[in-house]
Amino acid sequence: MRWQDYLILLVLVTAYLIYRLRSRSKAGPRRRQSRLTRREEAVLTRLKAQGYRLEEIHPGTPVTLLVENKSRRFNYRGVFIVKKLGKNYLVKLKRGDATPLSSAGLRQEMLLDYLFFQLDGILYYDLEKDKFQELSFKFEGRGSSSEQRLLRGAIIALIGIGAVLLYYFL
């Protein structure tokens, strides 16, 4: 992606966060929407034994899709969010034979969840193997090394100018 794409994505995410913070402050405290299934309850019990704490059941956010001036509203939902050591994780339960490394569709779904719910990671649970995998995403910039060196040089120059001005005025 070009740097302009990242800028547009940043503006969209910032606008969304501002909207969510304002709507959350007007709406008051959030209530839990629904109950966990037996399978989800069993997974949550295992996580609680490992020190995780339940934050939200079936987190969801209303989304409106606009196509040629026609709109369709739906709720984007997750399974549940747990917290440990100040980090939030969305719990995903394995469906079928897909694994995060082999299924492009599953990777895209998890990336969307990761960005949408602003998480520190995803806990992917394989019921058959009774095993959790912690997943996170790392985004690497596409800037060239010469651009990065130029940016570092500019920052060092600004720090140097600030130090000289500070010495001069003191």
Parent domain of 146? 142-170
| Range 16-38 average pLDDT | 64
**Does position 52 have pLDDT exceeding 60, yes or no?**
yes
- Bridge partners, residue 63, by sequence: 74
DSSP run (H or E) holding 106 = helix 104-116
* Residue the block writes with tokens 């740097």: 3
Residues 35 and 64 in one domain: yes
Tell me phi and psi for residue 70, to 5 degrees.
-110, 135
111 lies in the same domain as 67: yes
- Same-domain pairing of 87 and 162: no
pLDDT digits (tens, 9 = 90+) for 103-146: 777 788 888 888 888 888 888 888 788 888 888 888 776 555 66
In total, how many domains does the chain have? 3
Whether residues 81 and 25 fall in one domain: no
Residue 98 has pLDDT above 70, yes or no: no
Rounded CA-CA distance 111/113 in Å is 5
Task: List Cβ neighbours of 58 (8 Å cut-off, separation of 6 or more).
Answer: 32, 33, 34, 77, 78, 79, 80
Same domain, 60 and 111: yes
Provide the sign of the torsion angle of the four alpha carbons 87, 41, 48, 56, taken in this order. Answer: positive
**Mean pLDDT in residue range 2-28:** 74
Residue 120: count of CB within 10 angstroms of its CB: 15
Q: What is the pLDDT of residue 146?
A: 66
